[in-house]
Amino acid sequence: MKKVLIPTKLDKVAKELLESNGQYKVVQEEKTELLALAQQHPDAHAIIVRSEKVTPEVMDALPHLKAIVRAGSGFNTIDVKYARKKKVDVLTTPGANSNAVAEEVVALMLADARHLVEADPSCRRGEWEKTKFMGREVTGKTIGIIGLGYIGQLVAKRLEGFEMHVLGYDPIVSQERAKEIGVELVDLPTLFERSDYVSLHIPENAETKGLVNAALLGKMKKGATLINCARSGVVVEADIRAVKAEKQIRFLNDVYAKDEPGPKSCLDIADIMVPHLGASTKEANWTAAKFAAQFLMELDEKGMSSYIVNRDLPAGLNESYVDLAYILARLCRAVIGTETKLKLVETSFYGQLKPFAGWLLAPIVSALSDRVERTMDPKGAAQFLKNMGVDYADREVDEHKGYGGSITVDLTGSLDADHLIHASVRGTVTEGNLMVSRINDFDKLYFEPTGSILVMIYKDRPGVVGQIGSALAKAGLNIDDTRNPHDSKGENSIAIFKVNKAVPAEVVAYIAKDIAAKSAFAIELKTR
Residues carrying an active site annotation: 231, 260, 276
C-alpha–C-alpha distance, residues 471 and 149, integer Å: 41
CB neighbour list of residue 81: distance below 8 Å, 6 or more residues apart: 310
For every residue of 61-75, DSSP letters joined together read T-TT--EEEESSS--
Under 8 Å between Cβ of 77 and 54: yes
Burial 74-103 (b: 16+ CB within 10 A, else e): ebeebbbebbbebebbbbbbbbbbbbbbbb
Kindly tell me the burial class for residue 398, based on how many C-beta atoms sit within 10 Å of its own C-beta (0-12, 13-18, 19 or more).
exposed
**Cα–Cα separations (whole angstroms), residue 331 to 85, 261, 325, 358, 417:** 30, 43, 10, 20, 24
Under 8 Å between Cβ of 31 and 263: no
Strand 391-394's sheet: what is its strand order? 391-394, 341-349, 406-414, 420-430, 433-439, 442-447
Burial 283-312 (b: 16+ CB within 10 A, else e): ebbbbbbbbbbbbbbebbeeeebbbbbbbe
C-alpha–C-alpha distance, residues 317 and 355, integer Å: 9
Under 8 Å between Cβ of 72 and 93: yes
Report which of 119, 117, 158 is spatially closest to residue 138, judged by C-alpha positions.
158
Q: How far apart are the first and last CA of the chain?
A: 38
Per this entry, what is the length of the chain?
A: 528
Helix intervals (H) in 90-162: 98-113, 116-124, 150-158
Residue type at position 89? D
* Phi, psi dihedral angles at 255 (to 5 degrees): -130, 150
Q: Which DSSP state fits 503?
A: P
Strand 451-459's sheet: what is its strand order? 479-483, 492-499, 451-459, 519-525
- CB neighbourhood size of 172 (10 A): 23
